[in-house]
Structure 1
Amino acid sequence: MIVTTAGKFDASLTEKARTAAAEMKAKFVRRGNDSIQTLKEKYAQDIVMIGKNKTVYHPLHSDEPFFFHPNSSMFRAKQWLRGEGDPLVSAAGLKKGSSFLDCTLGLASDSTIASLAIGAGGKVTGIEESAAVRMIVKSGLSIWETGLKEMDQAMRRIEVQGGHHLDVLKSLPDSSYDIVYFDPMFEQSIQTSAGLSGLKQVASYSLLTVEAINEAKRVAKERVVLKENRASPLFKKFGFKVIPRSSRFWFGTLEKRSAHV
């Protein structure tokens, strides 16, 4: 993977790109006058372009770039701010001051809503294994302006952590987060959504395991929450209590008092 800058030379942007390259264990290349397509042809690698207000991922074998955009959570945020509630907030039992660990951060849609509901007194941490996705989403959360002050503040409060969710869970103390959350459906969305097709090569497709669920229950003070397709066998496999909805996806909960699976 190659990391470069947008457009004209800018010392601060170059330093930002070098830092990003080091974090992703990628190679930094000066942009010069080369187009992104020229860089693809020259290096035969994916390109991450660092700009002042946007980080963009350009996959080698696709003409569809990927960049962070909170459109998937905007509608939900507006509903929440109107006092209409949100299914994740209800299923997880989130309240002001709660702590929420998102083990499958993805585009941070659910973490953004959780942060909005929890408020400044709470804590939201999102785990993302893919270095490219993590860099793009982390950058987007820190600089994107939606026009909704409360939502912008909620995005800024999200802490993004790298690594596999199982490794991170194992490193955490008992009962260190009120809620531990999994959304394997994000992986399905990448496979089926044309708008996310550029992510297919860099996204993490880790399967949910019994060990991960048991670690999540150890770390959770209150409950573990799973978002899945309504027909998913994972609810029954791991003993989640399903919360039926009219939507194609359902939530399931494992209360802390439940026995290990």
Structure 2
Amino acid sequence: MNILTTSQKSNEVIQEEAKALAFSMHMTYIKRGKTSIPALFGKYQCEYIAVLAGSGLTIHFPENQQHTFHLSMAQLRILRIERGEGDHLVNAVQTILDRKGLHEGETFTFIDSTIGLASDSIIVSYAFPNAQIQGLEGSFPIWLATSYGLEHYIHNDQTVTNALRRITIKYATFEKYLPKLPDNSIDIIYFDPMFEVPVEESPQFKPLRGHTVESHIDDKIMAQAMRVATYGVIIKERPFSSVFQNYPPHQWVGGKYSRIGYGVYMKELM
């Protein structure tokens, strides 16, 4: 049972919003009252509880962990872009667009196949306002928090808020979603799978440990991605990963000593 409730001090407006949200998300709405979160877990034996408050939506887990949508690393990356320092993912996308001869301001479609907390999609949306971005997420609690955040989070910079609103997200895994798409239907397909050798874990990911969906790139997925992509594919991984050993990219985008980088695969060269 997926439970959605409200904060203990919620008003009728929040309660009605929570009921509507629960219905749209196919979740069970529980009237909170003064019941504590631990007591709700004890009563309903669920994996997580979504709590709606005036400040937003928070996902609670039994191990006394919680997750709320936040810009996380995207905020720092946006600041770097504003300072003219650039961004490796933006450069990877631009590499493909330049190869295809797209001019600044032209529309293109982009699927983030492993959107997670949406940091990468936010950066692409911010850097390319005309991009049509869709994300896929196979973990229900992560999808719930991210989709709500993209629709409701308000940044003090309207340009950033607008970047969030341009992103749509589906509850789906790329393994099941990509095969359903027609040939040459998405311009750029992006993968950010779980790293084979983990880097230092982001504090925001710690509450989600055990609730993520681990996906890997194999021959079947690469074939599907290149079939669906019109322009190309981008994969984020560590330079020495088996992904890049098995599928050498046409171009590598990243710093010389970067712990991670982006492999660019051009459709026309496959």
Fold in common (TM above 0.5): yes
Q: How is 1:199-214 mapped onto 2 (pairs within 5 angstroms)?
A: 199-214=208-223
Residue 196 of structure 1 deviates from its aligned partner by 1.8
Structure 1 pair 243–79 and aligned structure 2 pair: CA distance change class (3 A):
closer
* Residues 212/72 of structure 1: CA separation in 2 closer, same or farther (3 Å cut): same
SS in structure 2 at match of 1:204? coil
Deviations 1:151-207 (A, max 9, x none): 111011101111111222122222222210000147976993444222123211122
User: Is 2:116 the partner of 1:106?
Assistant: yes
Residue number in structure 1 paired with 2:100: none
CA drift at 1:107: 0.5
1:49 equivalent to 2:18? Answer no
Do residues 177 (structure 1) and 179 (structure 2) align?
no
Contact 2:137 2:170 (8 Å CA) reproduced: yes
Query: TM-score under structure 2 normalisation?
Result: 0.86
Partner of 2:176: 167
Please name the residue that 2:237 is paired with: 228
Aligned equivalent of 2:135, options 126, 131, 151: 126
Matched, 1:116 2:126: yes
What letter is aligned with 1:258? L
Equivalent residue, structure 2, for 1:38: 39
- Separation of aligned partners in 1, 2:224 and 2:14: 40
TM-score, with structure 1 as normaliser:
0.89
Q: Give the structure 1 partner of residue 268 of structure 2.
A: 257
Q: Secondary structure at the match of 1:240?
A: coil
Within 1, Cα distance between the matches of 2:240 and 2:135? 26
Is the Cα contact below 8 Å between 1:191 and 1:200 reproduced in 2? Answer: no
- Say if 1:67 and 1:136, in contact at 8 Å, map to a contact too: yes
Residue 269 of structure 2 aligns to a residue in which SS? Answer: coil
Residue 257 of structure 1: SS of its match in structure 2? helix
Take 1:20 and 1:187, find their aligned partners in 2: how far apart are those partners?
36
> What is the SS of the residue equivalent to 2:205?
helix
Tell me whether 79-88 or 16-25 shows the greater mean CA deviation.
16-25
Once structures 1 and 2 are overlaid, which stretch shifts more, 206-215 or 89-98?
89-98
Distance 2:21 2:76 in 1: 31
Q: Percent identity?
A: 31
State the 1:239 CA deviation: 3.2
**2:228 alignment counterpart:** 219
Q: Paired residue for 1:248?
A: 259
Partners of 1:209 and 1:16 in 2: CA distance: 42
**Cα distance in 1 for residues equivalent to 2:145 and 2:7:** 14
Give the count of matched residue pairs. 257
Distance 2:42 2:196 in 1: 29
Structure 1 residues 190 and 160, CA gap change in structure 2 (3 angstroms): farther
1:37-88 per-residue CA deviation (whole Å, 9 max, x = no partner) reads: 221222232211122331111111x222111110210111122233332110
Question: Residue 128 and residue 4 in structure 1: after superposition, are their counterparts in 2 closer, same or farther (change >3 A)?
Answer: same
Distance in 1 (CA, whole Å) between partners of 2:222 and 2:20 is: 34
* Native 8 Å contact 2:72 2:204 kept in 1: no
Mean Cα deviation higher: 244-253 or 154-163: 244-253
1: CA distance between counterparts of 2:127 and 2:202?
A: 28
Q: Where do 1:14-93 residues align within 5 Å?
A: 14-22=15-23, 24-45=25-46, 46-60=48-62, 62-93=63-94
Q: Deviations over 1:14-39 (max 9, x none)?
A: 34434444455543211111121221
Task: Check the 8 A contact 2:189/2:225 in 1, yes or no.
Answer: yes
RMSD: 2.3
Q: Cα deviations across residues 109-144 of structure 1 (Å, max 9, x unaligned)?
A: 00001001111x320111111111111011111222
